[in-house]
Amino acid sequence: MRILHIYKDYYPVLGGIENHVRVLAEAQVRAGHHVTVLVAARGPRTLIEEMSGVQVIKAGRLATVASAPLSLSLPAIVARLRPDITHLHFPYPLGEAAHTLLGRARRTVITYHSDIVRQQGLLRFYRPLLWRVLAKADRIIATSPNYIATSPYLQRFADKCVVIPLGIDADRFSAPDPAQVAAFRNRIPISADECRSSKEGISAKQPPSALLLFVGRLRYYKGLDDLLRALTQVPAHLLVGGSGPMEQPWRALAQQLGVAERVHFLGDVPDELLPSLYHAADIFVLPANARAEAFGTVLLEAMAAGLPAISTEVGTGTSYVNRHGETGLVVPPCEPGALARAINLLLSDTDLRRRLGEQARMRARRPEFSQAHMVQQVLELYHELLAASLTTSGPANSDVDLV
């Protein structure tokens, strides 16, 4: 099978969708398929390279507008390709438009990662084509039933939607390196006096050595600013794993709030260190403030490591992954006070924290959240669609190279 994935970026660019595309592409190569990923290059030249058996075409980038790369060569490349399946990873308007107008795949699958949330000006112009993109797709993958129920776009096409949650390798997060765990914890100087004096209102009755963890790209919708404000009422340190455009503003905010000494920005953490980072923490917090946080793979990773999670109710898959009162706590978005109360509740109740953490570990190991299950479900969907195409249009010419 010849498979084409289209998105705006690919590894080594870090991000949830970028990592998802890489996992799918490499697994599909291992299953014996010919896989191409088409993305925008970081510069003006078009590059073609092979990465772990995946053919990666990076179309020359003209500019970046509203976080979306513009490329004159990408539509021309789409018009030349002859895949059996084109798998679009939404949202990337240029890729979707190029495929809808010029693509020549036998079948089209869209993974609908998120609504277009912030770029409302762009959406006004793109919306007519967006309806056409969704109407033309043979299947739309949603990562949770929650998103189908709450997205105004998916609701209209619910009959062609299928739920395939994003998956993780839970085993990878169950056996950390003890030395690495100790290294993460030992780098944080924590004392009871520091907790008592850092901010008025912090309770000295709660454990001063508590360690909160946030992992993710530092983008506006992650809501880390709300967590920083909550930290003024919480006797804990916070590890922040990740980088992004909001890093400097959020560092400045930590200084303004007087919590900078208890907030530790780690930058991008290598994949091999992530299990140990999760095990070093006591509570995982994902304080998202918008629907752009559509699933929260990091929630699954933290839960697989046995961490209770605190997330926010933004009407997406985060509340499908983290269940209130079962695997953690769910609070309203954009409310630092509610975040602080949830954190303090878990810090003050060791038994509750342990119970939620163990139930979180069990939920993260459910079959529907496994990486292997995700890959299998996607491939089965491809085969189902191609089998249907054979009955309606006969076999396509599979002797033409992708490029």
147-202 tens-digit pLDDT = 999 999 999 999 999 999 999 999 999 989 999 999 998 877 654 444 443 444 44
- Tell me the pLDDT tens digit for each residue of 315-344: 999 999 999 999 999 999 999 999 999 999
Whether 207 and 126 map to the same domain: the answer is no
Poorest-pLDDT segment among 160-169, 366-375, 381-390 = 381-390
Structural domain total, the chain: 2
Residue 43 lies in a domain: yes
C-alpha R_g of the chain: 22
Which tokens hold the place of 181? Answer: 């765990």
In a domain, 398, yes or no: no
One domain for residues 334 and 385: no
Q: Could you report the per-residue pLDDT of 95-116, keeping only the tens digit for each? A: 999 999 999 999 999 999 988 7
Q: Examine the domain organization and report whether 378 and 305 are in the same domain.
A: no
Looking at residue 92, its pLDDT comes to 92
Domain co-membership, 157 together with 186: no
Decide if 281 contacts 213 (C-beta within 8 A): yes
Contact 217, 15 (CB under 8 A): yes
Looking at the structure, tell me whether residues 142 and 68 fall in a common domain.
yes
Share of the chain above pLDDT 70, in %: 90
Q: Is the pLDDT of residue 381 over 70?
A: yes
Confirm whether pTM is higher than 0.75.
yes
Residues 329 and 389 in one domain: no
CATH number at residue 236: 3.40.50.2000
Percent of the chain past pLDDT 90, that is, above it, reads 81
Which residues are CB-neighbours of 249 under 8 A, at least 6 positions away?
none
| 401 assigned to some structural domain | no
Task: Tell me, yes or no, whether 402 lies in a domain.
Answer: no
Same domain membership, residue 380 and residue 329: no
Confidence of residue 65 (pLDDT cuts 50, 70, 90): confident
Query: What is the Cβ-side half-sphere exposure of residue 366, based on CA atoms within 13 angstroms?
Result: 14
Distance CA 278, CA 285 (A): 11
Domain encompassing residue 359:
170-364
In terms of domains, do 344 and 224 share one? yes
Q: Write out the E strands in 171-249.
A: 210-215, 236-241
What's the rounded Cα separation, in Å, for the pair 227 and 208?
Answer: 18
Q: Are residues 152 and 266 in the same domain?
A: no
Domain contains 200: yes
Do 207 and 73 have their domain in common?
Answer: no
Q: How far apart are CA 22 and CA 19, in angstroms?
A: 5
Round to whole Å and give the CA distance between 109 and 170.
26
